[in-house]
Amino acid sequence: MKAETFMNAMGMIDDRYIETDMPKKKTSIKWKKTLISVAAAAIVLCPLPALTAFGVAPAYYMLYKFSPAVAQNFKPVERSCEDKGIEMTVISAQRSGSTASVYLAMRDTEGKYPQGEWDLFDSYNINVPSDSMSGTCSFAEYDSDTHTAYFLVELDTVGRDMPKGKVTFSVSEMLLGKERTEGIVNEIDMDNIPCDPRTCTLEDVEIRGMSLDEIDCQRFLTIPEKPICTPANGVSIQNIGYFDGALHILEKYDDIFHTDNHSFLSILDNNGKDIVDESLWESIDYWGEQHIDAYREHIIRIPYEKLSGSHLYGEFVTSDNYISGDWEITFTLE
């Protein structure tokens, strides 16, 4: 879908620098006194609204914590910005009921970055004139003719009318030209999976993203000197084996903080049907040395005899084009 399609579906942003509706909130006397004290101290040094209007980031974020509506009211409108040769621009926005949709463009002004899917790497931040609003941002498409990636931002006030006012959208990291590879991993012979391979214990790995109470497995595959195969750049299958009544598959994701390498595995029969129920599949993540690379051990509780004649299928998502920068725009939402 091209930009003009979205522009026809959504209203264009008004150029006016509008006042923000600020809903009145009931607060306790104690909280009012605290807020007045903080505001008074700030004004003695320099009024926060004045600093915010001139784009002083610390003052803006301090004020935003106290009152999102006031902070956004004083935030200057800047619908476009550029850093590292990438220009971010808001194309259109529209609110309807409790939701709002915003269409953004990230344009490679020099044509030097990889084409394809771009990812904001969960580094985006959305500031709105409300303290009870959720927002998401997703990749829409890449236009190779203009070297532009388009993103859709969706806001929701959860049942309440979406307020008018200014929205600030910022990004600090991006992955450019993400690649997706999928297919049968032919290097893995499912008819000859090793039984009782060498293992290590829970004490030998540093679990990430889970508490130890959530982990039933007490033994893990050891990391070999060389991986079995590398089905995608930055993703390798390190080891595989059957023990403790389950198939174990160990993957390694290189430099995840700058690649977001990840995968989705499944076990298929000759007809391409998945033979493992989701409830029988568990994955445990742990760190490599220096917290740069990451490992994932898949634990599939399937009878050994069912592996015969099956195939390991993988979907691998990788990227080796990471950039960091400072992109921020502020626009009005009518």
Asked if residue 173 lies in contact with residue 121, where contact means CB atoms within 8 angstroms, the answer is yes
Closest CA to 178 of 110, 106, 232: 232
Helices 29-45, 57-66: axis angle to 10 degrees equals 170
Tens of pLDDT along 164-197?
Answer: 888 999 999 999 999 999 999 999 999 999 998 9
Is residue 285 predicted with pLDDT exceeding 70? yes
Considering only the C-alpha atoms of the chain, give the largest distance between any 2 of them, rounded to a whole number of Å.
Answer: 77
Predicted pLDDT of residue 25: 37
What SS3 class is residue 156? strand
Which residue ranges make up each domain of the chain? 3-180+323-333, 181-318
Give the CA-trace dihedral at 156, 169, 55, 65, to 10 degrees.
Answer: 40
- When comparing pLDDT for 48 and 83, which is higher? 83
**Amino acid residing at 34:** T
Q: Distance between CA atoms of 316 and 199, rounded to whole angstroms?
A: 26
Which of 79-83, 179-183, 214-218, 264-268 bottoms out in mean pLDDT, i.e. has the lowest?
Answer: 214-218
Q: Distance between CA atoms of 208 and 298, rounded to whole angstroms?
A: 14
Asked if residue 126 lies in contact with residue 63, where contact means CB atoms within 8 angstroms, the answer is no
Continuous segment of H or E residues that includes residue 259: helix 256-259
Q: Distance between CA atoms of 103 and 90, rounded to whole angstroms?
A: 6
Q: How confident is the model at residue 68 (pLDDT cuts 50, 70, 90)?
A: confident
Closest CA to 319 of 237, 257, 252, 239: 257
**Amino acid residing at 106:** M
Q: Distance between CA atoms of 41 and 156, rounded to whole angstroms?
A: 35
Asked if residue 1 lies in contact with residue 91, where contact means CB atoms within 8 angstroms, the answer is no
Query: Would you list the DSSP string of 147-163?
Result: TEEEEEEEEE-TTSPPP
Query: Would you list the DSSP string of 218-238?
Result: -EEEPPPSS-SEEEETTEEEE
Tens of pLDDT along 73-110?
Answer: 878 899 999 999 999 999 999 988 889 999 999 999 99
Which of 107-116, 158-167, 241-250, 318-327 bottoms out in mean pLDDT, i.e. has the lowest?
Answer: 158-167
Q: Distance between CA atoms of 7 and 9, rounded to whole angstroms?
A: 5
Continuous segment of H or E residues that includes residue 50: helix 48-53
pTM attached to this predicted model: 0.77
Q: Distance between CA atoms of 222 and 194, rounded to whole angstroms?
A: 13
Predicted pLDDT of residue 56: 62
Strands 246-253 and 235-243: antiparallel
Neighbours of 267 (CB within 10 A): 21
Neighbours of 192 (CB within 10 A): 9
- Sign of the CA dihedral with 158 first, then 129, 89, and 320 last: negative
